[in-house]
Amino acid sequence: MEEYISVESQPSVSRLRREREREELKERIMDVAREMFLCEGYEAVTLRKIALAIEYTPGYIYKLFKDKQELIEAILHKDTEDLRAHLLQCLTQDNPVERILEMARHYSAWAITHPNHYRLMLFPPPAWAEQKRPLLPQAAVPIEREALNVLTELVKKAMRMGQFKKKYSDPTLVAATLWAGIIGAVLIEISIDPKGRIGVAGKDNAFNDRFDTLREVFLDGFLMERSSVKSGTPRLRK
C-alpha cells in the first residue's frame, strides 16, 4: 500500500513537461524584458508589449507575473544569484591577493558575457528605486555591496600578512579604488562601442589587454613584492 501511494504521488510526465515549459517561458520573458527596458526605457515598456514581442497573449504573461514590478524583482533576484554563484568559484585560493585577482576575473567575465543583465543590475530603473514597498528584515545585501565587503576583507587579510606597501593602510579605501577600476573596465567594454573607444583613446584595445593592465597596476602599485603571487591569470573570454 505504501509503495502504491509513493508511486501515485510522483508528478506525471505531462506535469513535469508543463513546469519545464513554464520555466523556459519565464526565462524568455526575462531575456526580452532586459533588452526592452534598456533600449526603450523602463516606463515605456509594458507587459503587453513584452507579450507581443514574444508572440504570446498578454493574459498568459499576467499568469506568470502579476505586474511589471514583480517581473523586475524576478530579473534582479535571478541575476544576483547567478553572479553570486559565479563569484563563489573564486574563494578557493589560500593567498588573499590571488583571491582578489580571481574575484576580479570572475566578476568581469560574468559582466561582459551578460551585458544586459549587468546594466540592469547596476543601474535599476528609477521607478524601481522609488517604490514605497517596505524592505523585508531578511532582505539580502545587494550583490555589489556584498562583493565590495568581501573584497575589503581580502584586502584586510593581505595587509595583515604584510603583502601591501605600508603607505596603503586603509583597506576600505584600497578596496573601493580596486572596485572602481574593475567596474570601470567592464563599463568601458559594454557601454562604449568600438568606434567610441577609438575616439576616446585613439585605439580599441581588447578587453583582455585592459584587464591585464589593470592587474599589473594593482600588483606593481600596491604590493610589497610579487613573488608570492602566481603569474598568468587566465584570460577572459567574451
Rounded to the nearest 10 degrees, how much is the dihedral formed by the CA atoms of 55, 59, 61, 64?
-150
Q: What is the largest CA-CA distance in the chain?
A: 77
**162, 224 Cβ separation under 8 angstroms:** yes
**Dihedral sign, CA of 27, 28, 34, 37?**
negative
Neighbours of 140 (CB within 10 A): 12
The pLDDT of residue 130: 52
In this predicted structure, the answer to whether residue 140 has a pLDDT above a threshold of 60 is no
Q: Which residues of 197-230 are buried (b: 16+ CB within 10 A; e: fewer)?
A: beeeeeebeebeebbeebbeebbeebbeeeeebe
Portion of the chain with pLDDT greater than 90, in percent: 47
Neighbours of 68 (CB within 10 A): 19
What 3-state DSSP class applies to 2?
helix
**pLDDT tens column, 8-59:** 556 677 888 888 888 999 999 999 999 998 888 888 899 999 999 999 988 8
The pLDDT of residue 237: 47
**29, 71 Cβ separation under 8 angstroms:** yes
For residues 86-106, give the mean pLDDT. 88
CA atoms within 13 A on the CB side of 127: 11
For residues 158-172, give the mean pLDDT. 95
The pLDDT of residue 150: 93
Which domains does the chain show, CATH number per domain? 12-66 (1.10.10.60), 77-238 (1.10.357.10)
Kindly state the DSSP code that residue 66 receives in the 8-state scheme: S
